[in-house]
Amino acid sequence: MNAEEHAFRFSANIINRNRTLLPNTTLTYDIQRIHFHDSFEATKKACDQLALGVVAIFGPSQGSCTNAVQSICNALEVPHIQLRWKHHPLDNKDTFYVNLYPDYASLSHAILDLVQHLKWRSATVVYDDSTGLIRLQELIMAPSRYNIRLKIRQLPLDSDDSRPLLKEMKRGREFRIIFDCSHTMAAQILKQAMAMGMMTEYYHFIFTTLDLYALDLEPYRYSGVNLTGFRILNVDNPHVSAIVEKWSMERLQAAPRAESGLLDGVMMTDAALLYDAVHIVSVCYQRAPQMTVNSLQCHRHKAWRFGGRFMNFIKEAQWEGLTGRIVFNKTSGLRTDFDLDIISLKEDGLEKVGVWSPTEGLNITEVAKGRGPNVTDSLTNRSLIVTTVLEEPFVMFRKSDRTLFGNDRFEGYCIDLLKELAHILGFSYEIRLVEDGKYGAQDDKGQWNGMIKELIDHKADLAVAPLTITHVREKAIDFSKPFMTLGVSILYRKPNGTNPSVFSFLNPLSPDIWMYVLLAYLGVSCVLFVIARFSPYEWYDAHPCNPGSEVVENNFTLLNSFWFGMGSLMQQGSELMPKALSTRIIGGIWWFFTLIIISSYTANLAAFLTVERMESPIDSADDLAKQTKIEYGAVKDGATMTFFKKSKISTFEKMWAFMSSKPSALVKNNEEGIQRTLTADYALLMESTTIEYVTQRNCNLTQIGGLIDSKGYGIGTPMGSPYRDKITIAILQLQEEDKLHIMKEKWWRGNGCPEEENKEASALGIQKIGGIFIVLAAGLVLSVLVAVGEFVYKLRKTAEREQVSLKNRGPHGERREWGAQGVSRVHTSQARMVSEPALPWLQQEACQPHLCSDSEHTSPPLWLQARPSPLLSSWPMQKPPLWPSCLVSPIRSPNTARALFNTSFKPCHSPAENPPG
């Protein structure tokens, strides 16, 4: 006896024992077995039952014979009660028809609401027969109205082996699947999916059958698979639970062994619907007044006269049965108002996580397994496979004197991070190195390698390594929030110090500045000369003791103007001071200019001469792209290579063209690239965090330029992994507790190469400032040569004027005459011994007695004191004698202005003394 026949007998017996439902009536029943597709047999047996006198016919539930029985019931006006889904056209004329099975249009809306709640963007729909497309037409039409991609597949019709289809979906990485099939086929699918390795936490199955709760799901409770279904049996009602328990006891006695894959003694949905259908008919019969049942003959076509009224009673009935609230549409006879429980598989079995109804929609009371707060339970006490790659300082082999096994073989930043996550989330793990040693990149055919492939193939649950988050990888796997931010930069060999030039003291100022300073010096000197000649206040009286003298002089000759500028520029005195306001303004501005220039020069001189300067041939990615002498590249199939490969920036496109044209530019791993950078003229493009670690331990390497881009390292999980969100929360917790920074300081802190900006000033060597000694020596030599030239020039001019050869002149131009005994007599040229600036030329004329005084003078005149000459300095300064010669002063010096008339002076000598010379 099958479950439906047992349910029919079970419900009839309960009604007959309950005298309050049908107090004066005993319910009798007739059960006939037919073949699903034999319409003739179904018609014959339906007529036989109508001849007995019946109030309703239940079933058949499936097959083509259903329509044959329905046509007979319509003709004889006998209610036909259906318990399975049946395609019901909009123009259906079956007025004597009701169906207790939920309408599939409503069930499709329930599935669609659940998919939207789970935020699926893609899914696969698998159906078992052609009617599945009709049942799920509301769901299949969803992509046109919702942002979801659906892939439609069909189960094999001639076989129960669904493994080829499951294998194809696994290869296609279809993790979200909706199965529309019977409960027996669902049991086969779950068993074969377990054999295919698809019963993991990465897969989410939704079954449309309402008998999912009846399947034996014990083998899958701890698999981690996300299994969701619907249930119409209202087991939360205590009355329903009592009836179901009683049914189970009787069922176990009648059929101890259940079907394969089903629980023993469980009440199926068909049985519960049949139980409710029998009760509705019994209740409506009790409420129908004075209704009699008579025998009907199919060949006479005489209808039951109470059939129409009884059918109206059934359609208007409202009953709270085992399957919840039962209400029919008065026109179509379909069940319109019902509640569906959303059930999900947990480690304790199936649990109710929400409710759906046509009027209120979806109401999730607990998020389904695989998303939300319930994920922690799935991680607790679970053992995860972690794939990684060796990369200092993230993952390294631990150095030990003894042989290490398992996770103890590894150490590093990522290992410490993994330990912290395991401590927070309560899972255990096994670390495995990826076979090809690669992070993961996609080839031209779309195939992945490295750790990404391990996650796609579900050979690993987590990828804990310096795995860069990229949009291409994000399409293949899921990432947690980044645990470290970074960017691409350039690793290059630190340049050697440049050999300093002997003229390094010129480096503080550029050649342009030196040229401008020279031009400023020449310009200011010339302007000072012109302004000093033009301003009347720069001229002064050459003979201040003579009130009648109109001879004036000017100190700022052209040479003196240049000397004044040079003295100011060198911050030395020149004993020349401007007197006029205009020349003082020029002097003040020039002094301010020299103050800034000398101060700037002095400040830069220390930096240029005391700190060894490093000159690198490249300073940025642009410099690297513009040259071809230095080779550069990245790790093959890494995120950095993918960045340059996909970049649309012209500089990076040029760099990728260089790298792709030279396969040797790409290295297998970072270690190979670092060694190549040290030994060859090669620059490695890599993540800034690794560069920071390497440069801390190798002072011959340095980072060139700043960051080319910005990205982050994340923990990779397979697509749809239930662990991603919880791992992200744990990473944020570690970040808030500053543990991520502490771990980085632990593994990145190295020997500490000295920073260039912290170097102490070293002593200056001759290599750096030797040029200033050369300039000094050159200046001295030049001055000696100029002095010799001046001496020769002076002697030549004197010899030409007095017609005397150079050998007969003394060192001061005096003339020598040689006697017979070789004794020379020196005749001093009085006119040439007088200082030109004071008295340009002294000529003796006739004495003027009226200008002479007979009195004794104890000191020379004031004008002689003010401007002593070489001739006067040879006199005794205490009591200079008066000698009988008069001096006149014809104007020949350019610094002396001629007076309007000449004045002759006659100094008188004492009688006791002879005049000199």
Question: In sequence order, what DSSP letters do the residues of 529-540 get, joined into one string?
Answer: HHHHHH-GGGEE
Tell me which residue of 764, 756, 752 sits closest to 605, measured CA to CA: 764
Check residue 794 and give its pLDDT.
Answer: 76
Amino acid at 2: N
State the average pLDDT over residues 325-339.
86
593 confidence band (pLDDT: 50, 70, 90): confident
| The predicted structure's pLDDT at residue 67 | 82
Largest CA distance in the chain: 192
Helix (H, G, I), strand (E, B) or coil at 353: strand
Average pLDDT over every residue of 182-206: 90
pLDDT at 768 over 70: no
* Strand, helix or coil for residue 51: helix
The span from the CA of 115 to the CA of 119, in Å, is 6
Locate tokens 């993991």: which residue?
200
CATH fold of 3-103+237-337? Rossmann fold (3.40.50)
For residue 638, give the nearest of 611, 613, 673 by alpha carbon: 673
> 452 falls in which pLDDT band (50, 70, 90)?
very high
Residue 373: is the preceding peptide bond cis (ω within 30°)? no
**Higher-pLDDT residue of 520, 880:** 520
- E strand spans, 473-513: 477-479, 484-486, 488-493
CA–CA dist 199, 145 (Å, integer): 31
Range name among 150-164, 407-421, 661-675, 887-901 with the lowest pLDDT average:
887-901
Q: Looking at 2-49, which runs of residues are DSSP E strands?
A: none
Query: What b/e string do you get for 534-545 counting C-beta neighbours within 10 Å, with b at 16 or more?
Result: ebeebbeebbee
- Give start-end residues of each CATH 1.10.287.70 domain in the chain: 520-610
* pLDDT above 60 (res 832): no
Residues of each domain in the chain carrying CATH 3.40.50.2300: 3-103+237-337
pLDDT at 837: 42
Tokens of 261: 């894959």
Query: Which of the listed CATH numbers 3.40.50.170, 3.40.190.10, 3.30.420.10, 3.40.1190.20 matches domain 491-496+615-708?
Result: 3.40.190.10
Q: Specify the domain boundaries for CATH 3.40.190.10 within the chain.
A: 372-432+446-487+722-748, 491-496+615-708
Architecture of domain 520-610: Orthogonal Bundle (1.10)
Four-residue CA torsion sign, 472, 477, 478, 482 = negative
pLDDT average, residue stretch 57-85: 84
Please state, in angstroms and rounded to a whole number, the distance separating the CA atoms of residues 220 and 224. Answer: 8
pLDDT at 34 over 50: yes
Question: What's the pLDDT at 290?
Answer: 75
- The answer to whether 507 and 500 have CB atoms below 8 angstroms apart is no
Helix axis angle for 581-610 and 558-569, nearest 10°, is: 40
Count of CA atoms in the C-beta half-sphere (13 A) of 365: 10
- Distance from C-alpha of 182 to C-alpha of 210, rounded to nearest angstrom: 9
Give residue 915's pLDDT band: very low, low, confident or very high (50, 70, 90).
Answer: very low
With beta carbons less than 8 A apart as the criterion, state whether 673 and 686 touch. Answer: yes
Class of domain 372-432+446-487+722-748: alpha beta
User: Which of 282-296, 363-377, 436-450, 472-486 is predicted least confidently?
Assistant: 363-377
Q: Is 468 annotated as a binding residue?
A: yes
Q: CA Rg, the chain, in Å? A: 57
With CA atoms as reference, report the closest residue to 283 among 22, 19, 57, 97.
22
Helix axes 558-569, 511-534, angle to 10 degrees: 140
Q: Tell whether residue 640 is among the known ligand binding residues.
A: yes
Q: What is the pTM (predicted TM-score) of this model?
A: 0.58
